[in-house]
Amino acid sequence: MHNDGLRERIDHLFSAQLQGVLATQQHAQPYTSLMAFAHTPDLRYLIFATFRDTQKHANLLLNSAVSFLIDNRSNDPADYQHAVAISVCGCAQAIPDDERAGLLTIYLAKHMTLRDFVMSPECALLRIAVSCYRVVSAFQAVELLTIDTRQADNCELGSNGGAWGLGDA
């Protein structure tokens, strides 16, 4: 099945990359941040961490709709034909207490050097509930993998402080 092959390619690229670019919104303008990330094996969630006293966290409190870009470019002209970029669309969420240990384990397995940072009381471990992946390869070949379209419906502007509990994250 095509989706199985696409899922494997996404998992492979995500396993090989340590960082990606998180896009939030600040006053109707995109705001981007380079972030360490991990992903769940079922591709339903990306996991990331940030200090609570940051612009990105403030942006997430106002609007949980996010995009996250992960790619494998090497800053070489061959990238136009060989690099792969994956845009993740979804909603940032606080992690429920009963799921935190499992997601923390996944995150630290990939980013052990960030242990002190992520364990700090000032740090919020968050997840992106993925609605879809857009995989771009060979310069302009685009493939779409839909995970959960209901996630997009839950990312209403200004509604997530209570809905996702990021105020407590």
Asked if the structure places residue 160 within a domain, the reply is no
| CA–CA gap between residue 9 and residue 153 (Å, rounded) | 27
**Structure confidence at residue 92 as a pLDDT band (50, 70, 90):** very high
Is the confidence at residue 168, as pLDDT, over 80?
Answer: no
List, for residues 128-150, the tens digit of each pLDDT value.
999 999 999 988 899 999 997 66
- State both tokens at 87: 């845009």
Asked if the structure places residue 162 within a domain, the reply is no
Residue 12: name the closest of 54, 72, 61 by CA: 72
Q: Give the global pTM.
A: 0.88
CATH number where 114 lies: 2.30.110.10
How many structural domains does the chain have?
A: 1
User: Taking the mean position of all CA atoms in its chain, how far away is CA 87?
Assistant: 9
- Provide the domain limits for residue 68: 2-153
Asked if the structure places residue 165 within a domain, the reply is no
The pLDDT value recorded for residue 151 is 58
List, for residues 4-30, the tens digit of each pLDDT value.
999 999 999 999 999 999 999 998 899
Q: Which amino acid is at 91?
A: C
Asked if the structure places residue 94 within a domain, the reply is yes
Q: What is the mean pLDDT of residues 28-39?
A: 96
The pLDDT value recorded for residue 140 is 87
- State both tokens at 67: 């995009």
User: Taking the mean position of all CA atoms in its chain, how far away is CA 159?
Assistant: 20
